[in-house]
Amino acid sequence: MNPNKKPQCKRILGVDGGGSKTIAWIADVLPSTGQRKFEWEVLGRGRAGPSNPRSVGFDAAFANLDAAISMARGQIPDLTAVSERIDTACLSLAGAGRKEEQDRIREWADTNCLAEQTTVIDDVEPLRFAAMYELSQLGDSNPASWENSITLVVGTGSIAYGRNGGRLSIRTGGWGYLLGDEGSGFSIGLAGLQSLCKAHDRGEATTAFREEMLQRVGLNTPTELVQFIYQIPPPRAQVAELSEVVIGHAANDATAGKILLDAIHAMADLVNTAAQRLELKHRSYSLALSGGIVSNHPAVVARLMQALELKKLTPLAVHIVREPIYGALSLAMDPSLERFEL
């Protein structure tokens, strides 16, 4: 045993992987003398490209997982040797919601001796644990308020996940950019591009909003959009980034404002559908938010709360998750975790 390793520690690995990046943290879990039952100390951090197997393929996903985890391991002297294994790992990955994907990822983890025990899960469910952990850091010691919860993710794509007192869990949305993803960065950006095409057909004069949309993708005229949008693979990330242009012009451009308003209503509809299926009422659930559209734009969150209030579905508590990987670490700390214990 390495003498530098702390005694009686459980070493864990948490990975949060999505369509743009992969984050890996390795930590030691130690009994805490504070209010929380457990605490961890992060020892190594790694970052690499996307690891959503549906969008980049399994080979690229595995390569980026390996790169992020290797970077984290390389910061810990006693983990540089392959023989030094991690006790438990949780790989929280977009595109890993089905058993087929999870089995293949788990096989990769076992083949590469990643950990003694590995949990593979999608990137949505752990977010409520991340919310509870972050709130506990702020002094909130009431995890019971999260027994009824909805998690809304609005980034490149969109999805909602809800739980009803641990008795029932459901998903709404998450159908991808061709079948759904209403309210997402991609849908906002695409709606912006579609508005350019319609304005061109009507012979309307250009606006600051339209000019910036074209500039962001390096084009001069709307007629060039056909070649841009139908390239292979589709420019999903570039289109999603155009949501920033729409949001930036929403206050002073009627078209951009209408696109954003429609997106906010779509977000509220995802939450409302989940709440109805779970029989959650006004002020009877907590709401966790994640993804660039909600994390980076407080005004969007404020308008989303107004839309939920109109539906008489105001949440009991709202938290924007800053570090989704806390959810993966929580599940790595206790793979059988059903509710967060402080």
Domain residue extents for the chain: 10-126+325-333, 143-321
7 has pLDDT over 60: no
- Strand-pairing partners, residue 151, are 161, 288
289 Cα distance to chain centroid: 9
Q: Do domains 10-126+325-333 and 143-321 have the same CATH topology?
A: yes
Question: What pLDDT does 142 receive?
Answer: 61
61 has pLDDT over 60: yes
pLDDT digits (tens, 9 = 90+) for 257-308: 999 999 999 999 999 999 999 999 888 899 999 999 999 999 999 999 999 9
pLDDT digits (tens, 9 = 90+) for 66-82: 999 999 999 987 665 54
Q: Which bin fits 261, alpha (ψ -120 to 50), beta or left (φ > 0)?
A: alpha
User: What is the average pLDDT across 302-320?
Assistant: 95
36 has pLDDT over 60: no
Which CATH architecture best describes the domain 143-321?
A: 2-Layer Sandwich (3.30)
Region 10-126+325-333: CATH code = 3.30.420.40
What is the bridge-based pairing of β-strands 317-320 and 115-121? unpaired
Closest Cα to residue 170, out of 57, 267, 270?
270
339 has pLDDT over 50: no
Question: What pLDDT does 40 receive?
Answer: 86
Closest Cα to residue 92, out of 72, 70, 118?
118
Higher pLDDT, 144 or 124: 124
Taking the CA atoms of residue 78, residue 83, residue 85 and residue 91 in that order, the dihedral angle to the nearest 10 degrees is 110
Higher pLDDT, 337 or 341: 337
Identify the residue whose tokens are 């759904």. Answer: 180
Average pLDDT, the chain: 88
Closest Cα to residue 247, out of 282, 299, 288?
299
Question: What pLDDT does 79 receive?
Answer: 60
1, two tokens: 């045993």
Question: What pLDDT does 2 receive?
Answer: 47
Rounded-to-integer distance, Cα 342 and Cα 340, Å: 7
